[in-house]
């Protein structure tokens, strides 16, 4: 039996012993002493040294008879009552390692006598007691282990060197549809054609995060480790995580993304608006206009661009506009969200793979995003989420314009422009060694810092009317007015989710509004709570209403100037019905007979 490590003799000692100085005359005397003192072991000592041991026979499985120190009849009677003695025994220190102590036992010995630090007997270790204790401990440990394995969310298989299945948990039953009673004790290879665990049983080395397709339509990530005793290989354990749904969703996402890219390119080609590719970026705040101006200039080149901004500020919108403004506009624009792809699948997603690169790979191999974007632009969103190891490989491609497919030995040369985006503080990540400095400088040739909506609140009215027009058409509504109280509240709110949050709120209001005018009634509670004090009678609200009117006035005048005073086109540009536009002109005191 395997002895638990770091256990001492004292951990298992029985201490119900009696020390008796001097000779024991006969077995009857020994029996009397043992049963009177209610002990299991009598140690006869001479000058403090143990000389003879008397103990009950039931303490060990051996016969354990010895020679009677007295009369034969007394010995026989004592033995019949279950008492025996021995002069041949081994002594060990109570603080000695248990495994080392057991090595000192000689064949036929039934117990060890333990001595304290002064050499005085302090207890004994019967083999039978030790065996029963260790067996009970092993059984308890086995129950805990079984419970732990069954509670795991992973598929767990344990097999010996001959692939005989030793363990198969409930998760494995559910995932593979194979009952435990049908597979335990059977050869695992008779159920599966390809096995990662076979490699571990052959090499004795672990396999980590292996992408594997054990059966058609099923995909897993496997960690498989050898089970060893010292250097001897006993078997292997396999822990599998079901990623079938993730793989299928990823495939659907790629199809949808490809289709969306084609539609986007078609829309970009048929658009012929005055402001060109940047016409989809709405707003007139100075900081936004500065970003657009820089984007126009860099769009004419192939320089790398790093777009910074909070979530929902429109980073991908800028990236597409830069691509459409570039000489590469007729080539692909491929987007990849670095935070949405598992680290172990990211390399094959970025660089593609050769046929047979791994189990479950498509027969013809697959192009990665770099190949798909050849000649065009690759947009790497959430670049701050990229795994550190992948940053090294990306840097190499940016330096040499050459990469290797997963499982391939032939270099692939590409011409790709990189636009990256992040909402992370990359400079802080540099100091924490979580982002490579050399890659940072490669990406940060031109930097765009898109302002959050809370710093460009003057653009909110224009965006509100734009979204009202969009969602009124989508949901079959006819909404042509916004109450001053609502617009005031929208201007006061800080919009942590930026334009994406504003767009969602306006869609909610359009859907829930009955009639032609929107008000505050259906705003989310979180917005109402964060803008308390917005009632029309409050001085602050009145001031904000005045500001709102002034912002509306400037927005309308700017729209009229852009279209040389054509009111119909100005209303269309603002996404506002003409009746609402004329109402606003009158309400704001603008001269409708004079072109600004």
Give a three-class secondary structure readout of 343-391. Answer: HHHHHHHHHEECCCCCCCCCCCCEECHHHHCCCCEEEEECHHHCCHHHH
CB-CB contact of 221 with 344 (8 Å): yes
Q: Could you report the per-residue pLDDT of 344-391, keeping only the tens digit for each?
A: 788 888 998 888 766 666 777 888 899 999 999 999 999 999 988 889
The sign of the dihedral angle between the CA atoms of 583, 588, 593, 594 is: negative
HEC profile for 399-429? HHCEEECECCCCEEECCCEEEEEECCCHHHH
Lowest mean pLDDT among 138-142, 153-157, 203-207, 289-293: 138-142
Q: Is 67 exposed, middle or buried (0-12, 13-18, 19+ CB in 10 A)?
A: exposed
Write the CA distances from 61 to 56, 57, 87, 88, 107, integer angstroms.
Answer: 11, 8, 18, 17, 13
What is the per-residue pLDDT for 422?
95
pLDDT at 139 (0 to 100): 73
Q: What are phi and psi of 298, to 5 degrees?
A: -75, -25
Judged against a pLDDT cut of 90, whether residue 210 lies above it is answered with no
Would the pLDDT of 554 be above 60? yes
Mean pLDDT of 50-69: 57
231-277 pLDDT per residue, tens: 889 899 988 888 887 777 766 765 676 666 666 555 555 444 445 78
Percent of the chain with pLDDT over 70: 84
- Residue 268: predicted pLDDT: 53
* Main-chain dihedrals φ then ψ at residue 328, nearest 5 degrees: -95, 10
| Angle of CA points 412, 399, 347, to nearest 5° | 55
Phi/psi of residue 258, nearest 5 degrees: -60, -45
312: pLDDT strictly greater than 80: yes
Check: CB of residue 586 under 8 Å from CB of residue 555: no
Three-state SS for 178-232 is CCHHHHCCCEHHHCCCCCHHHHHHHHCCCEEEEEEEEECCEEEEEEEEEEEECCE
Per-residue pLDDT reduced to its tens digit, 468-501: 988 998 999 888 778 888 888 898 899 999 999 9
Lowest mean pLDDT among 2-6, 187-191, 536-540: 536-540
**pLDDT above 50 for 21:** yes
Which are the contacts of 548, defined by CB distance < 8 A and separation ≥ 6?
461, 484, 487, 488, 491
Three state DSSP letters for 526-553: HHHHHCCCCCCCCHHHHHHHHHHHHHHH
Segments of 40-160 assigned E as strands: 41-46, 49-56, 83-86, 90-93, 111-115, 121-126, 155-160
How far apart CA 113 and CA 49 sit, in angstroms, is: 12
How far is it, in rounded angstroms, from Cα 457 to Cα 596?
24
**Interval 404-462: pLDDT, tens:** 888 888 899 999 999 999 999 999 999 999 999 999 999 999 999 999 999 998 888 88
Under the banding of pLDDT at 50, 70 and 90, the label for residue 216 is confident
The CA distance from 219 to 214, in Å, is 7
pLDDT of residue 70 exceeding 50: no
| Average pLDDT of the segment spanning 511-515 | 90
Q: What's the whole-number average pLDDT of the chain?
A: 81
- Overall average pLDDT of the 7-33 stretch: 86
pLDDT of residue 318: 95
Contact 81, 35 (CB under 8 A): no
What average pLDDT does the segment 80-106 reach? 81
Give the mean model confidence (pLDDT) for residues 56-62.
Answer: 50
Tell me how crowded residue 75 is: count the other CB atoms within 10 A of its CB: 21
């Amino acid at each position: 039996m395997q002895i638990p490590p770091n256990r001492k003799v004292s951990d298992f000692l029985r201490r119900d012993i009696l020390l008796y100085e001097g000779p024991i005359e006969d077995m009857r005397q020994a029996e009397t002493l043992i049963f009177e003192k209610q002990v299991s072991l009598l140690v006869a000592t001479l000058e403090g040294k143990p000389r003879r041991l008397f103990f009950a026979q039931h303490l060990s499985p051996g016969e354990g008879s010895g020679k009677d120190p007295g009369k034969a009849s007394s010995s026989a009677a004592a033995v019949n009552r279950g008492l025996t003695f021995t002069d041949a025994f081994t002594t060990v220190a109570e603080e000695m390692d248990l495994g080392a102590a057991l090595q000192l036992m000689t064949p036929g010995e039934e117990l060890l006598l333990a001595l304290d630090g002064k050499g005085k007997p302090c207890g004994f270790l019967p083999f039978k007691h030790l065996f029963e204790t260790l067996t009970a401990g092993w059984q308890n440990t086995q129950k805990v282990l079984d419970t732990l394995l069954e509670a795991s969310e992973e598929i767990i298989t344990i097999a010996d060197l001959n692939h005989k299945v030793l363990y198969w948990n409930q998760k494995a039953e559910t995932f593979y549809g194979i009952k435990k009673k049908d597979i335990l004790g059977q050869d695992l290879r008779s159920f599966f054609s390809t096995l990662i665990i076979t490699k571990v049983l052959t090499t004795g080395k672990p396999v980590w995060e292996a992408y594997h397709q054990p059966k058609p339509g099923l995909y897993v990530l496997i960690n498989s480790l050898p089970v060893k005793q010292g250097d001897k290989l006993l078997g292997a354990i396999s822990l599998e995580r079901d990623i079938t749904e993730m793989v299928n969703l990823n495939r659907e996402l790629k199809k949808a993304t490809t289709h969306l890219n084609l539609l986007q390119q078609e829309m970009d080609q048929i658009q012929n608006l005055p402001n060109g590719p940047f016409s989809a970026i709405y707003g007139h705040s100075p900081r936004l206009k500065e970003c657009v101006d820089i984007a126009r200039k860099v769009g004419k080149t192939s320089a790398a661009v790093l777009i910074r901004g909070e979530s929902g500020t429109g980073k991908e919108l800028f990236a597409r506009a830069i691509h459409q403004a570039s000489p590469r506009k007729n080539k692909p624009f491929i987007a990849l969200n670095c935070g949405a792809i598992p680290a172990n699948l990211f390399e094959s997603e970025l660089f593609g793979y050769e046929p047979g690169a791994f189990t479950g790979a498509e027969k013809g191999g697959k192009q990665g995003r770099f190949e798909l974007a050849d000649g065009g632009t690759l947009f790497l969103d959430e670049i701050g989420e990229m795994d550190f190891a992948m940053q090294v490989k990306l840097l190499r491609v940016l330096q040499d314009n050459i990469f290797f497919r997963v499982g391939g030995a032939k270099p692939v040369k590409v011409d790709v422009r990189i636009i990256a985006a992040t909402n992370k503080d990359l400079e802080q990540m540099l100091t924490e060694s979580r982002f490579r400095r050399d890659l940072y400088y490669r990406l940060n040739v031109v930097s765009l810092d898109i302002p959050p909506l809370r710093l460009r609140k003057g653009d909110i009215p224009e965006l509100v009317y734009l979204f009202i027009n969009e969602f009124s058409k989508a949901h079959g509504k006819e909404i042509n007015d916004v109450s001053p109280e609502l617009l005031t509240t929208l201007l006061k709110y800080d919009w942590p989710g930026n334009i994406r949050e504003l767009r969602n709120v306006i869609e909610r209001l359009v859907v829930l509004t009955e009639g032609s005018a929107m008000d505050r009634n259906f705003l989310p509670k979180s917005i109402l709570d964060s803008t308390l004090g917005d009632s029309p009678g409050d001085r602050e609200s009145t001031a904000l209403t005045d500001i709102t009117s002034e912002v509306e006035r400037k927005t309308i005048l700017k729209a009229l100037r852009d279209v040389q005073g054509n009111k119909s086109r100005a209303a269309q540009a603002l996404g506002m019905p003409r009746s609402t536009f004329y109402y606003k002109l009158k309400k704001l005191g603008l001269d409708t007979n004079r072109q600004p």
